[in-house]
Structure 1
Amino acid sequence: MVLESRPEGGTLEIGFSAEDVARTRFAVSPLWEVVASVRVLRDTGPGVHRPWAERVRPALAAAKLDLTPLSCLIGPPPAGVPGFLVAPPTTPQPSLDVELAALRSMPHELIRTTTPAAREGVAALRADPERGLGRLADVIAAYWEVAMAPYWPRILTVVEGDILYRAKRLAEGGARRLFDDLDPRLTWDSGTLQVMHRCVRGERRLDGRGLLLVPSVFAGPRIFSDVDSPDWQPTLRYPPRGTATLWEGRAQPLSDALAGVLGRGRALLLAELAAPASTTDLARRTGLSAGGVSQHLTAMRAAGLVSAHRTGRVVLYARTSVGESLVAG
């Protein structure tokens, strides 16, 4: 199965039963972000990820990293990505090591039947999947350290912030409200999710498996889908809210009046929390020490100005309604 990019075009209709709605979930996928970012790095011109690409390209050149085992599997848009390369995560927030372990143990027959044989560099993987998968996983791990690890806290803040937002939407109004503003190419009507596609159209049933939703900063502006594979949960990967400002400095106006009451550090942090953020990300963005950020957030949480949300191993902080009122005032 090839996971394809679907620009606007035909309509795919995904039918939901009550069980499908109950099993619909979210997950983060470091491996998917690696694969999508390689395509962006190769094809990007002026656009939202240009600042990242301009920093990463020289770093990869200095590391003398040969990406051929990975890049040969990723065709230019609208070509697809082999499904085995980005199997849907089975937990909400797997580490890259967990996803690479799954990649290394991928059934060899699946690789032979889903890799595009015509692409240069794929023959070795098809001929010796065990060795090829090991080499592929090593290349991905090396690429991660150079191109992704330094930026992962920021990326994670965006995708997990979107998940928190979607969870709130679901709690407020069910599936209709969840999908209402997820992407302009998605519409929900009477238990059916309609997805605008270029290549795939027609009706699909989830058959009680539910739908996996994976926010991806490097997927945009496309939606990637795999709803036909019998081996994995049907999946949609979509661009999350906040991607357009991902690489901006994010300087926020600081109210002198608020700083006079709370202190400059706490007022600055409150202003920065326009979107949920981790302690690490806030420290990097404000120049405050991680310890100082943690102390300020603890105090503001006790005062009811911020709330904390644990997602996996990361705690995201967000302004409460009281905090929002103070910043707005």
Structure 2
Amino acid sequence: MIEYELAGNDLGEVRFAISPLHELVLSLRTLRDPGRFPLQLPWLRAIESARSGLDLDLLRALTNEALWTPDFLTPRPYSPLGRIEDELSALTSTSAAVVRADLAAVHPLGLPTALQGRPATVLRRILAVLQDYWDACFEPYWTRMRTVLEADIVYRGRVMANAGLAAMFADVDPHVRLDGTVLRIRLRSDLSYRTSTAGRGLTLTPSLFSRRGATPISPDEPPHLIYPARGLGTLWQTSTTTPPTALADLIGRVRAGLLALLETPTSTTELAVRLNVTPTAVNQHLRALRAAGLLISARHGRSVLYRRSDLGDRLTRGL
């Protein structure tokens, strides 16, 4: 059990962040044990040929049977919308002692051959292979992935603002709960510690590659909770939604289809991917639907996320 004592039960104690580095590193779990991540199988099939040219021995060595990864590869993000080049660059200054200790924590019985050698040399090899992995397997799909992560943060921010921290944490993960000012995270392992967020705060990072709440292995790391993002089940789907016939007759089949898709916040880019059309074409319809009061929008970072308004909900459901 990991316990974080919140310095104050208020919204200012908690912040959200999206980290491409986290997703890159946590996705290595799917390479080691794809059966545990059935919703990512379409992506794994899509990148099969691309990953064949990578150093898979080294990539797989960055996880263990419990699917732990070295803490230094998933540092607490400090930017709400991080960039992979910045995050990888920041890792170049990781000390040899930290590299050695974190790798040993993941592989306490001895390092795999791929991770043996001087820490500085091993670190350079790790960063190089992660960059190659990003270029081949992540960069083509990152916009789509990021959209789901952004939608999750918008949703949880709304819950937190309307109902408070406890309500927001109650919906994060069945193994995470807020008792008073103590956040408790139940892990599958025997790992246990308690630490305060005073002076450090708590960062929450949604992930497409986490099946339950996860924290740093070491209590010395800044308080950080990685949790499963909402909407993962729709990540690799194309649109199969059939809008009500009456609604399609009223506003047109394309706009009715968009309205049917927008039950949860979604960006123009994600809609374009799911509908296999250009973002420009989607934008024209979104503007018309919003002008009619059927959609609301909110900006998150560089994206604008749309979802149905109450009127749009009623119209879609035929009420």
TM exceeds 0.5?
yes
1:314 and 2:306 are equivalent in the alignment: no
Instruction: Tell me the alpha carbon deviations over residues 263-309 of structure 1, each in whole angstroms, 9 at most, x when there is no partner.
Output: 22211211111222221211121133221111111222222222222
Deviation, 1:228, is 4.2
Distance 1:171 1:92, change over 3 A: same
* Residue segments in structure 2 that go unaligned for 5+ positions in a row: none
2:205 aligns with: 214
Deviation, 1:229, is 4.4
Deviation, 1:24, is 0.9
Deviation, 1:225, is 0.3
SS of 1:275 mapped into structure 2 = coil
- TM-score scaled by length of structure 1: 0.87
Cα distance in 1, alignment partners of residues 259 and 102 from structure 2: 49
1:122 aligns with: 115
1:328 aligns with: 317
1:304 pairs with 279, 290, 293, which one?
293
| Runs of 4+ with deviation above 6 angstroms | none
Distance 1:190 1:19, change over 3 A: closer
* Residue segments in structure 1 that go unaligned for 5+ positions in a row: 1-10
Paired residues in the alignment total 311
Q: Would you say the 8 A contact 1:20–1:207 is kept in 2?
A: no
Instruction: State the AA in 1 paired with 2:244.
Output: S
SS of 1:224 mapped into structure 2 = coil
Distance 1:271 1:20, change over 3 A: closer
* Structure with higher RCO (Cα < 8 A, 6+ apart): 1
Instruction: State the AA in 2 paired with 1:291.
Output: T
Cα distance in 1, alignment partners of residues 66 and 218 from structure 2: 20
Distance 1:290 1:56, change over 3 A: same
Instruction: State the AA in 2 paired with 1:160.
Output: E
Deviation, 1:188, is 1.7
Cα distance in 1, alignment partners of residues 91 and 69 from structure 2: 14
Cα distance in 1, alignment partners of residues 280 and 239 from structure 2: 21
1:256 and 2:245 are equivalent in the alignment: yes
Distance 1:94 1:224, change over 3 A: same
Q: What percentage of residue pairs aligned between the two structures are identical?
A: 37
Distance 1:87 1:219, change over 3 A: same
Instruction: State the AA in 2 paired with 1:111.
Output: V
SS of 1:52 mapped into structure 2 = helix
1:195 pairs with 185, 188, 191, which one?
185
CA RMSD of aligned residues (A): 2.1
1:242-253 counterparts in 2 under 5 A? 242-253=231-242
- TM-score scaled by length of structure 2: 0.89
Deviation, 1:128, is 4.8
2:34 aligns with: 44
User: Does 111-120 or 278-287 show the bigger shift?
Assistant: 111-120
Q: Would you say the 8 A contact 2:267–2:304 is kept in 1?
A: yes
Instruction: State the AA in 1 paired with 2:201.
Output: G
1:74 aligns with: 63
2:263 pairs with 240, 250, 274, which one?
274
1:137 aligns with: 127
Deviation, 1:252, is 1.0
